[in-house]
Each structure stands twice: as C-alpha cells, then as structure tokens.
Chain A
C-alpha cells in the first residue's frame, strides 16, 4: 500500500454493487463495470485485512486499531488511509448512506 498523506472519512463504508469479490486463500476484487476487461485484483494480506474490515462494517479507525503496530503507530494509519482512499477513488466503496440501518 502507498503511504501517501491523505485522510478519508471514517465510515462506515459500503461495498459497491459493481464489485465482485472472492474471499478464499486470497481476497480478489473484480470490477464488473465496462469495459469488462479488468483482471481481478489480488489483495496483499494487509490490504485484505482492511477490505475484510470494511466489508464487515468496521470504520477506518476501528480497522486501524485492529491492525495497530505499537512500534510504528503512524505507519499503519497512513497505509490504511491510503488504501481506503484508493478504493474510494476506484469506486469500489461508497460512504454508507446516512440514516440507513443495517
């Protein structure tokens, strides 16, 4: 994950209906939108952990807390923020609708 300096909304986030994703030994994401030519994106273990957290409804801060590294507390937060920003940029996640229950 790129450790770009960025901050995203805490969430929770909703997985886009345009993304198929497989959770087995690895997590693979597949963009179902035109031109239908993208290959599945195989996530690294750390990225998969973030995706798992988002898919289960965790906020970004909760994910960071779960993945927290006491030795390098800022690094994990930066990596998670950058990855979530990338997912949002790609349209793979959307902010959870306000007031939507469940």
Chain B
C-alpha cells in the first residue's frame, strides 16, 4: 500500500465529503463553505487551503461538537487558529492523520440575522456541489459569494483592498445575471459590511425604467456592483431576513 502522506491539496476535497457524511449520518444539517466548494462554484480560484469550513445548524452546534469529540477528532488551538472565530462562533477540529483542520461554524461574522435564521435561509436555498464524486450541500452561489465577501472584509488592511476587490469581482462575474439579482436581493436584508456601509455612494442611474436611484456596492471607494437603493440597505437593518 502506498504510504505517501496525504497532502493539503488532496485533503480538502476529501475532507468536505467526510465531514458532511459524519454530520448527516447523525441528523445534523451543515453547509460546506469556502475552499474547494467555492472553487467548484467558480467563485474563487482553485488554491490549496489549510482548512475546510462548514456552517452548522446553529441549534445543533453543541451536538456536532460532542459528536466530533467522540470520534477522536481533537480540538485545535494553534498558530493557524482564526482567533476572531474560535471561541466566538466556531470550533476547529483536527482529524487524526489529516493535514487540514475542520472549522465548524455556528455563525458567520458579518451576518446581521440571528444565527439560526441565517442558517435556515441559506439551507432553504442550498445547492449540491460535487467534490471527490460526492455531493455536499453548499450555499447557492449568490449566497456563497456574499459569505465569502463578508469573510474577506474582516480585518481587511488598506493594502489588501485591491486584491479583495479583484477577488470579489471574479466571483461576481461567475454568477449568472439571475444569480446576481438574487445576490443583491439577499444581501439587502441579512448581510452587511462595515466597509460597504461606510463607502457606499449614491448615484442616480437609470435602469431602463423610471429614473431610480441605485446604490453602488463599494469596496474602498471602487464600485464592484450596483443595485437599486432601498432604505433597508442604507439603514443596515438588523433582524430577520426576508423570505
């Protein structure tokens, strides 16, 4: 038997189906996020990740942690730990013998909606993504892009903004026009970004109908998308997402 160690490049696409199977076999809903999943949806370039991410049903987070503890997957708190996440809304596990870690999130930073509401919203709109010949549930591409964008904006330094802008634009272009419309519609009620809130500018732009103001989605002053303005977006509302 070939004993070549499992590499990071190989681990991600295999770890997602494994984590999904473990949780699903025990009735725990979870969505696979970022990494190989996002690459499969063409929302970001394929690259090697150190970890795999799942967004767990918030109501089942404790059960998921208990389950993974019981499998001998040990909790990780080392140099690569995302300290903004761990202890606040995610737990990192190591699978014995695997080079990657597994981040199990109960919530994702930047989402205004309550964790359970946000998960239920994403779950209703989920799509299957095939990795290693196994289908794993993932957010719809337009929702996933927003989640990735919120992740990008956390702690973004000025020298990183151009790269972030380019990455978002890449994912945006991967969406169909219909998905882009839905991305705007879903971003309004439950997602927010402090950068967007601070940098949004109002510009009058006709959309082929009666003159209506449109909001420009900005990152550091550069527009990456435009959509009709709504008071809710400008007001950065909190509370339940719209169905």
Contacts and interface: CB of A to CB of B under 8 A. Distances in A.
B2 A36 contact: no
Interface stretch (B15-23, B82-90, B118-126, B174-182): B15-23
Nearest to A42: B2
- Which size class do B's interface residues fall under? 20 to 34
A21 B133 contact: yes
A91 to B, nearest CB: 15
- Which size class do A's interface residues fall under? 20 to 34
B142 to A, nearest CB: 27
B123 to A, nearest CB: 21
A22 B10 contact: yes
B152 interface: no
A43 interface: yes
Question: Chain A's interface: helix, strand, loop or mixed, by majority?
Answer: loop
Contact of A36 (B9, B13, B71, B133): B71
B14 interface: yes
- 8 closest Cβ pairs, A-B complex: A20-B132, A42-B2, A20-B17, A32-B21, A20-B134, A22-B132, A39-B97, A30-B14
A26 B132 CA distance: 13
A32 B2 contact: no
A28 B14 contact: yes
B6 A39 contact: yes
Contacts of A21: 132-133
A39 B95 CA distance: 10
A44 interface: yes
B71 A35 contact: yes
A28 B10 contact: yes
Contacts of A71: none
